[in-house]
Amino acid sequence: MDFRVLLPILLCVSGCATSPLPPVDANKAWIDFATPAPGGKVLMAERLDGRRVADGRFFQVAPGSHELEVRFDFEVYSGGGLGMQAEPQERLCYLIVRYDHFEAGQRYRLEARSLAFSPSARLYNAKREIVAEDRQANCL
């Protein structure tokens, strides 16, 4: 293949690569995401205190009280008729977690999981203690 044709394609693809995460601000709390259970496909930040966020890969918040809204996409597997496995169904939900005691310099982990069609989220501190759970789930 001609290099002059390949070069623009390579430049375009490399420009689409995910940008690195910003540096952690020691004056803020950092919230990572995880979907430990099978079926979880996407867990992304949507809103912080009612305002849309620019980067859905994490939250970085000032100390104090905050309301976190995340988008959780997952698959639900159900059995088909006559012992046949049906195709998984996609489910899209928005979960809201409120926590009043975020601390500067601390790292938290927000995990989302589903039990059949019911999603849930838990916020853990650095000691792996549950500090908050979702209080609202809106699914489409």
pLDDT at 9 over 50: no
- The dihedral over CA atoms of 88, 136, 49, 93, expressed in degrees to the nearest 10, equals 10
Q: In this structure, is residue 115 part of a structural domain? A: yes
> What separation in angstroms does the CA of 75 have from each of 39, 91, 113, 114?
5, 6, 11, 9
Q: In this structure, is residue 44 part of a structural domain? A: yes
Question: Whole-angstrom Cα distance, residue 57 to residue 74?
Answer: 17
Position 85 confidence tier, pLDDT thresholds 50, 70, 90 = low
Instruction: Give pLDDT, residue 15.
Output: 46
Neighbour count for residue 95 (Cβ, 10 Å) = 23
Position 12 confidence tier, pLDDT thresholds 50, 70, 90 = very low
pLDDT at 17 over 70: no
Determine the structural domain holding residue 62 and report its residue range. 34-139
Q: What is the DSSP track for 83-133?
A: GPBPPPEEEEEEEEEEEEEE-TT-EEEEEEEEETTEEEEEEE-TTS-EEEE
**In the chain, how many domains are there?**
1
pLDDT at 11 over 80: no
